[in-house]
Each structure stands twice: as structure tokens, then as C-alpha cells.
Amino acid sequence: MKDWQPDISKGSAPVYERLVSALESGVRDGRLVPGDRLPPQRDLAHRLSLSVGTVSRAYVEAERRGFISSHVGRGSFVADRARPHAPPHDTGPLDMAHNVPPLDSAERWIGEGLSRVRQRADLGTAVKYAPPEGLASIREAGASWLKRRHGVTRATAEQVIQCNGGQHGLALAFAALARPGDTILCEAATYPGIRTLADHAGYRLQGVAMDERGIDPEALARCARDTGAKVLVTIPTLQNPTTITLDAARRAEIIEVARAHDLMIVEDDAYCVFADAGAADCFADLAPERTLMVAGVSKAVAPGLRLGFLLPPDNEDIRDRLLLGIRAFGYSPPSLGGLVFSQWEQDGTADRIADDVITESEARTQLASSILGKAMAVPGAGRSLHVWMPMPMLDAERLSARALRASIALTPPDGPIVDAVAPSGVRLCLGGLRSRDALEQALRDIAAMLTTAGGSAARGLV
């Protein structure tokens, strides 16, 4: 018999749920293995000072979930199917093209977090149509997340609008502020999803020249004047693909240009959770009258939730247009994923996952820096999901092709390019490989490609 003494002293879930979670954790970390006989219910109840009914309920629930099997006269045993599955190996081509969080270390929190969702009194509302702005509980969780993890002081549940991830949020923002054929300004090298959205909806993207601090304010003023554009979309923190983070002075200069030329700012805040302590304030707080923030939980918590949040400017007409867009594109935002996040925000699961992702991202960023050295631009924060290797376009294309022949998939070098004045280079995404060992080998292979390319790539680095 396994001498198992679970710790169920912490947590807000019912005691029997905490006992089931402790059993699940024991299986996952190897303290309990298939075939182990668990203590009889009466013995465990005595050890934990619980009623036999509570332990019995926990065992029944654990058996329902497939963690244990019970046999009359023999007792309860850890089931064979409870054996943790080994994480899939990273097999080729190795994915360094998709900007996703490294969630392997955070997976231990997900099952425990989900088990608490089924106890919510409002679970039934998640299968009904929600109002266009989303359920109140989800918007409350979103406002809390934006305040705590993005530093947005003006975020409230009344202002926040739920959307179906960051890409959906950008689509809603553009549709509320522009019409097909209108020009939208952006960084000269930008998130490829913005290019896809513009191609689909018929917007004209105009890239704005960048320097080592981000968007060039003089170039922004010139583009606004020459094109008559009224919308600027920017990724101010760990810009995709260059990893530049706008400092406070540069943000103030951009706002000054936006006010002078009546530009609305769409702030894509996808990476703000990775910012260094003391980072500059967001545009949503600095220029609330003309900023529409788009933020999600895909980069730090779980892409599969497909959950994002919009924080409109202080403008009821724009808010109404956003809600009309939600009705037109999907009638109402989906609630099940949002309710999961609402529970995770309440019980701390979202923070635990995000903290694990940030810690792992920092280790991976340091690993990339140690291997790539000066070939890699210094990111605008101590941790990032992607890094940037600046080099001439021809060298970038050669490196991308060389990597693919070695079964390493990279972001196509022309994917982020909007304008000829854009910085060129190669974006390396660090989160797509489950194993840090696989990432290290891929990075070493790429570094070797740089040094064996006849010097052309190395000469092009800036």
C-alpha cells in the first residue's frame, strides 16, 4: 500500500476537489505510479481529519476522471491509463516560425484550473448567447488582467469588450476606424497578421520608417500628411518582428504627432506581459481620447482559449461600432473559453501559467543571446517569445532556405515587410519547440549557418 499523505491545506476549491487535484498532481510528478494501492478511505479520512464521505466522494470523482480504479475487497489503485504521457518529441521540421508561448512547464496548472470551472454557479450561462460586449464576469476578469499584468490604469469591466483573440480584436478595431480602401499606417516591418488582415479587408498599409527606438516620429508625420491616413497601428512593446520597445520619450513624440494629424492609435499590446519592470506607460493611458487597445491572453496563458479584450477610447461612437462589428462577425463572443479564464484569473491559475511562461521565455532568450551573440539584436525586454537577427534581405532569404534544408522552419523574411524602408532580417520564434534542448540545437545550427555562409550573412549584420 502506498503511504500517501496529500497536502490539501491550501486552495479555495471544495475539500474533495483539492483531494482529487492532489491525486492528479501525484500521478503527474511520479509520486504515484500505475498499480500503487491507495490508502483505504477510512484510513485517509482519519489522517486528514476529514469525513469518510468527503474522501469517498473524492475517490469516486478520481475514478470518473480515470485516475484510479476500485475493486471490491481489494481497494483502490492508480489506474494504468493515469500514466502521464511523455511529451511529444520535437520532430522536423522544427518550428521556429510561429510565435507561441512555451507552455510545457505550465501544463501542470491547467488540469487543476479546469477542475474548478465546473463548480461555478454561472457555468450554464456559457452555453447561451452572450451580450455583444461579453459576459460581465469575463469582462471583470479581463479588466483585472489588463490592470495587473498590462499596467492599464483605466481598464474597467464597464469599458472592456471581449473578443475572440487578438487577431479578431485587430479586425474589429480596423473595421470601426477605417473603410476598405483607406490607408492604415504601421511600422515598416510589422506583425504578418496585420498584412493578412489588410489584404483580406482591402485596407492600404503604409509602412513608417523605423530607427533603433521604433517608429520615427518625423516619418510618421510625413506619412500622415502625404496619405491623409487617420489610423496608426503599432506594437509598442517587443515589437514584432524587431523586439523594439518604445521608450517613454518616443511614445510622447508619437502621441504629439497623432494629435497634430488627428490619428487614432490602435495599440496591439500582445507582448506587454513580458515587459521589464518600470516600462513606459501604455498609449491607452497616455492618450485615452485616441487609443483603441487590443490585448489578449494567447502569448502568456493559452492560445487555445481564443480570448482577447478591447479597450476603446473615450468615444461612444467608436464603442458602438465595435459592438456592431461583433454582432456582424459572430453575433456574440464565445463564453466557454472566457469563463475558464475568468476562473483562472480569480484563483491564480492564470498568474501561475503566465509566470511559468515568462520564466521559461527569459531562459530561452538568454540561451539565444549566448549562442547568437552580436548576430541577434538586443530585445526591448529581458525575455521575449521571438528574437531578431538584422541582415540584408538577400542574406535573410539564403539563411531561411538553408535552415529549411536542415528541417528548421523560420518566418519567411518578407513576411513582416510592408515598405522598402523596413529593416530586414530573420525572426526566430523561441516558444514553438517543447524541449529547450531542441531549441539549443536549432540555435547552434543557425549560428553555424551564419559562419559557414562565406561571410555574406555575417558581413550584413548591423
Instruction: With beta carbons less than 8 A apart as the criterion, state whether 397 and 417 touch.
Output: no
| Averaged pLDDT score across all residues of the chain | 89
Residue-wise pLDDT tens digits, 102-150: 987 667 677 667 777 877 888 888 888 999 999 999 999 999 999 999 9
Closest CA to 216 of 193, 189, 177, 196: 189
Using the predicted structure, report yes or no on whether residue 462 has a pLDDT greater than 60. Answer: no
Residue-wise pLDDT tens digits, 418-450: 998 899 999 999 999 988 889 999 999 999 999
Q: Does domain 127-346 have CATH number 3.40.640.10?
A: yes
Using the predicted structure, report yes or no on whether residue 177 has a pLDDT greater than 70. Answer: yes
> Which is more confident, 451 or 405?
405
409: confidence class by pLDDT, cuts 50, 70, 90: very high
- Spatial separation of the C-alpha atoms in residues 250 and 236, rounded to whole Å: 10
Using the predicted structure, report yes or no on whether residue 87 has a pLDDT greater than 80. Answer: no
pLDDT of 81 reads: 56
Using the predicted structure, report yes or no on whether residue 264 has a pLDDT greater than 90. Answer: yes
Closest CA to 334 of 135, 120, 124, 117: 135
- Spatial separation of the C-alpha atoms in residues 108 and 28, rounded to whole Å: 8
> Which is more confident, 210 or 73?
210
Residue-wise pLDDT tens digits, 192-244: 999 999 999 999 999 999 999 999 999 999 999 999 999 999 999 999 999 99
- Spatial separation of the C-alpha atoms in residues 462 and 458, rounded to whole Å: 9
> CB under 8 Å to 389, separation ≥6 — which residues?
372, 375, 376, 377, 396, 399, 425, 426, 427, 428, 461
- Spatial separation of the C-alpha atoms in residues 393 and 457, rounded to whole Å: 10
270: confidence class by pLDDT, cuts 50, 70, 90: very high
Determine the topology of domain 94-107+349-459 in CATH. Answer: Aspartate Aminotransferase, domain 1 (3.90.1150)
pLDDT of 460 reads: 36
- Spatial separation of the C-alpha atoms in residues 229 and 425, rounded to whole Å: 28
Residue-wise pLDDT tens digits, 354-385: 999 999 999 999 999 999 999 999 999 999 99
398: confidence class by pLDDT, cuts 50, 70, 90: very high
Distances (CA, A) of 195 to 125, 299, 322, 389, 417: 36, 20, 21, 21, 9
H/E stretch holding 311 reads strand 308-311
18: confidence class by pLDDT, cuts 50, 70, 90: confident
pLDDT of 112 reads: 67
Instruction: With beta carbons less than 8 A apart as the criterion, state whether 170 and 193 touch.
Output: yes
- Spatial separation of the C-alpha atoms in residues 311 and 325, rounded to whole Å: 15
Q: What is the pTM of this model?
A: 0.79
As to burial, measured by CB atoms within 10 angstroms (0-12 exposed, 13-18 middle, 19+ buried), residue 420 is exposed
- Spatial separation of the C-alpha atoms in residues 330 and 314, rounded to whole Å: 24
Q: Does domain 15-82 have CATH number 1.10.260.40?
A: no
Domain parsing of the chain, residue ranges? 15-82, 94-107+349-459, 127-346
